Chain A
Amino acid sequence: MRIALFITCVNDTLFPRTGRAVLRLLERLGHEVEFPQAQTCCGQMHYNTGYRRDAQKLAVRFVETFADYDAVLVPSGSCAGMVRDNYPRLGEPGSRLRREVERVAPKVLDLSELLVDVLGVTDVGAYFPHRVTYHPTCHGLRLLRLGDRPERLLRAVRGLELVELDGATECCGFGGTFAVKNAAVSAAMGSDKARHAADTGAEVLCAVDNSCLMHIGGTLSRQRTGVRVLHLAEILASTEEEPAL
């Protein structure tokens, strides 16, 4: 099975350690991952802000780059959701883009889907002796419908104590350009999320999307709560020899 990694522009630029964690994890499980160099960005920011034509160009680039793989791993819930849910809206029915999207989009998977559904593993042999709370990001929850896959993976991590997050299904307030266009509301939502996270007594808040984590983590850090944020991949890649914290 040929697995390609679509790292996403945000992870590529700001959170390369998430990408390195994905590789370490999958290689530990015996899978080779390819990184097609032509990849750039899925176009989510353009699409969500109203710049449809720019998003279309990036969608064309995406389906060309990832046409020949059996699975395309996207370690970001909102980017995976962009491809699976919104790409079909970018091409007219019957158009070349639409046909390509229909072929490629179903192969796009979040890390938890790849592990649980395709590779059939929930215990990935990770070690992370910390108290963790999980925030199910909106697109992971409502577009990808990840269900309890991430929590099942976390529960199987040796040493990890998973604690429930109050108001977990409520949006953290990031929302891409929403975070700056409606900064006051975004900050109020982020502040509530940070308070819920701090109330759990967890050391780490975990999610499948670094853009949400950048917002939640930035708020947690500004408010000096002491709670850190980590992408699911980093916790699953963590071992006694190479701990994530």
Chain B
Amino acid sequence: MSTTFVGMPAFPDAARAATGNAQLRHNLRKATHTIRDKRAAVVDELDDWARLRAAGAAIKDRVLRHLDVYLERLEASVTAAGGTVHWAADAAEANRIVTDLVRATGHDEVVKVKSMATQEIGLNEALGEAGITAYETDLAELIVQLGDDTPSHILVPAIHRNRSEIREIFRTRMAEWGVPAPEGLTDDPRALAEAARVHLREKFLSTKVAISGANFAVADTGTLVVLESEGNGRMCLTLPDTLISVVGIEKVVPTWSDLEVFLQLLPRSSTGERMNPYTSTWTGVTPGDGPREFHLVLLDNGRSATLADTVGRQALRCIRCSACLNICPVYERAGGHAYGSVYPGPIGAILTPQLRGVTSELDASLPYASSLCGACYEVCPVAIDIPEVLVHLRERVVEGKGHRAEKAAMAAAGWVFGDDRRLALAQRAAGAARGLVPRHLPGPGAAWTDTRDIPDIPPESFRDWWRKRHTKEGEQ
């Protein structure tokens, strides 16, 4: 399997393949329903959830409205605390900055905290080309990395794997990357976690450079914040000499007190916990304690363009909790890989086409990867109206080239619906042809009749029935 998403087919094709994979559908159904139910339980127990959600959205919107101000404030605070701030307009620039920073340390290995931003820019691949090996230390990211795989979920990147597959990956691949899996490794979750712990411990103790992302960056104090469950992040953030954090520009919040809202919203929405096990915060460098050198790389990579779109910009509120993935009936059946991006599911369907544009066939297919059922909007902790943005992006796709048959069909339907007499004529034509409709339709209609029967077309429309009924009444 490829470790990047380049050359992926459009969503419907990839999703069709996934729906045929019974093991994958079983894994996904079990995992998403478990997290979904946990989330519902810990959200329902808070009577002020709706207000927390509104507060989360409001804080993010305020930051986005004055993003320039908060980013410059963040830069000043981080610099004052002894860190160095770098600005990266796109993935290539961010990768170049990080590669140069690692090279300057003289080391050729880095440990990594789970980070969406570094996956978005393909940092591991860029470092690899420069002869630098990046070790993922999050358990699920480790599974993905050892398996030459791509993540399929934001929170649970190896959600598509079951424990016997994980055992096989550990058994066959760990030795290439460091400490091998123990003899006779079973698929018992505790045994698998222990094998990963032993494998990773060596990396934590020997690697001098760490790379992270951040869930939040506090403008007032220059503090960065990472929430995690395993403690691997805490190791990476404290043991190495040099720490480099790659953070999307939308991750800034004004003050520490704003964190109060998000530290409640995020764990309950993502892992379904009242509080996550590890919350690490760091502010610049502290002599004698933790990394001696700290670099913050602020990443744009399409975010400013997204911000310019008044409807689409709400996607930048996202705190990467994955609640929308776990509730989504489409994600559950298609799996994360079908979205062809590190951001799968409903949020990916609105984020990827904004960050990357809708020029590729895959990216143009993403806004349609939804039945618009609205479950994602309902669970989103920062109230991103995902269906609204999906429809907005469909408008953008339709404005582009292609879709000729669909445009003609929509124009024809618009013409028929533009006048009730035209509609009545069309209905009479359909009624007259009702006996001619085959059980299996040809062409695009086959997409319907492959799995579903079509309803009988009635001989008379409601409109004609009504007219007759009222003409009769008038005559009486």
Pairs A-B, 3 closest by C-beta atoms = A175-B371, A218-B452, A50-B394
- Other 10 A-B pairs with CB < 8 A, given A40-B419, A41-B413: A13-B430, A17-B458, A20-B465, A37-B420, A49-B394, A175-B373, A176-B371, A182-B369, A184-B12, A214-B455
Instruction: Decide: B458 and A16 in contact? CB cutoff 8 A.
Output: yes
What are the interface flags for B1-21 relative to A under an 8 Å C-beta threshold, 1 for contact and 0 otherwise?
Answer: 000000000011001100110
Q: Which residues of A are in contact with B by a Cβ distance under 8 Å?
A: 7, 9, 11-17, 19-20, 35, 37-41, 43, 45-52, 54, 57-58, 61, 86, 89, 138-139, 142-143, 169-171, 173-191, 214-215, 217-219, 221-222
List B contacts of A61 (CB < 8 A): 418
Q: How far is the CB of B451 from chain A (nearest CB, A)?
A: 4
List B contacts of A221 (CB < 8 A): 452-453
B285 CB within 8 Å of chain A = no
Contact of B427 among A13, A89, A139 (CB under 8 A): A13
Contact of B11 among A50, A58, A182 (CB under 8 A): A182
B447 CB within 8 Å of chain A = yes
Q: Whose C-beta in chain A lies nearest to the C-beta of B463?
A: A12
Q: How far is the CB of B194 from chain A (nearest CB, A)?
A: 37
Number of A-B contacts (CB under 8 A): 182
Q: How far is the CB of A178 from chain B (nearest CB, A)?
A: 5
Contacts A16-B460, A219-B452: A178 and B398 contacting too (C-beta < 8 A)? Answer: no
Instruction: Decide: B418 and A40 in contact? CB cutoff 8 A.
Output: yes
Instruction: Decide: B451 and A175 in contact? CB cutoff 8 A.
Output: no
B102 CB within 8 Å of chain A = no
B231 CB within 8 Å of chain A = no
Contact of B451 among A142, A169, A187 (CB under 8 A): A187
Q: List 23 A-B contacts (CB under 8 A).
A: A11-B462, A12-B427, A13-B427, A13-B430, A15-B455, A17-B458, A20-B462, A40-B418, A41-B423, A46-B414, A48-B372, A48-B391, A57-B418, A89-B388, A142-B373, A171-B329, A174-B371, A176-B371, A180-B444, A183-B451, A188-B25, A189-B371, A215-B452
Question: CB within 8 Å of A: which of B42-76?
Answer: none
Instruction: Decide: A178 and B371 in contact? CB cutoff 8 A.
Output: yes
CA distance A221 to B455 in the complex (A): 10
B448 CB within 8 Å of chain A = yes
What are the interface flags for B116-151 relative to A under an 8 Å C-beta threshold, 1 for contact and 0 otherwise?
Answer: 000000000000000000000000000000000000
List A contacts of B410 (CB < 8 A): 45-46, 49, 51, 54
Question: CB within 8 Å of A: which of B336-380?
Answer: 367-375, 377-378
Instruction: Decide: B457 and A14 in contact? CB cutoff 8 A.
Output: yes
B80 CB within 8 Å of chain A = no
List B contacts of A181 (CB < 8 A): 12, 368, 447
List B contacts of A15 (CB < 8 A): 455, 458
Instruction: Decide: A183 and B427 in contact? CB cutoff 8 A.
Output: no
Instruction: Decide: A183 and B460 in contact? CB cutoff 8 A.
Output: no
Instruction: Decide: A175 and B370 in contact? CB cutoff 8 A.
Output: yes
List A contacts of B153 (CB < 8 A): none
CA distance A52 to B399 in the complex (A): 10
Q: How far is the CB of B412 from chain A (nearest CB, A)?
A: 10
CA distance A38 to B463 in the complex (A): 10
